[in-house]
Structure 1
Amino acid sequence: MSSSLHHSACALAMLLSLAPPALAAGDAQEGQAIAQKWCAACHVVMETQTSATPAAPSFAAIGEKYRGKGLAALAAFLADPHPVMPDMSLTRQEIRDLTAYIDALRG
């Protein structure tokens, strides 16, 4: 192996080792904390919550809506929310965490 090819291969290996996993799992507990902080003002995010905006679907209803469509569809929605929702600029990990939490509500 030539020296420059060896250096290129080593550099590529180092970059790949630093890259985050493409489909890292979400943490439902973190998702619940995010939901309580950012979403509970409008959505019912837990069964014990007593009030929310009537027009906003509950997280349980959102989970049912996306049943069969896959978590990727829900994650895509959270990444690019509809105009009624504020732009919270969620990170990819926060989206995975919220998706995991909503999925956990489906039982």
Structure 2
Amino acid sequence: MTAIRTRRQRPMMTSHGRWGSFALCAALFGAAPALAEGIGDARAGREIATSLCSQCHQIDGSGRDSSRVPPGFGAVADMASQTELSLRVFLQTPHGNMPRYQLTRDETEDVIAYILSLRAR
């Protein structure tokens, strides 16, 4: 006769992990941009942005006019509310005239890292 093993139920906090709570707190309190340097490869993000986004956006960081439509990546990076989380949500949500690109998780992280690297210091 074989024994039946059951998995122990984990509390909600543990199943989502402490890192999820940390990321949420970091996003809410503005620490996410400081952590964003480790989320992706900014150089790869620039290559993706050059091939997919440069037809409409200024991707080199020189376009810092927030009233320009569509905004340059420099203006996007400089938005006070901009975080890794807000960029991730934006990149995964269809918007108006913007083409619907299906980025992989790594591509998304690379583009986020690139945009946040353009933030004026």
- From 74, 81, 92, the equivalent of 2:94 is 81
Counterpart in 1 of 2:17?
Answer: none
- From 30, 34, 52, the equivalent of 2:48 is 34
- What is the total number of aligned residue pairs between the two structures? 87
Indicate the structure whose relative CO is greater, using CA pairs within 8 Å and at least 6 residues apart.
Answer: 1
Counterpart in 2 of 1:13?
Answer: none
TM-score normalised over the length of structure 1: 0.67
Q: Percent identity?
A: 33
Instruction: Note the residue ranges of structure 1 that are not aligned, 5 or more in a row.
Output: 10-21
Report the CA distance between 1:55 and its aligned residue: 2.5
Instruction: Note the residue ranges of structure 2 that are not aligned, 5 or more in a row.
Output: 8-19, 24-37
SS of 1:100 mapped into structure 2? helix
Please, what is the CA RMSD of the aligned residues? 2.8
TM-score normalised over the length of structure 2: 0.60
SS of 1:76 mapped into structure 2? helix
Q: Please tell me the residue identity of whatever aligns with 1:96.
A: E
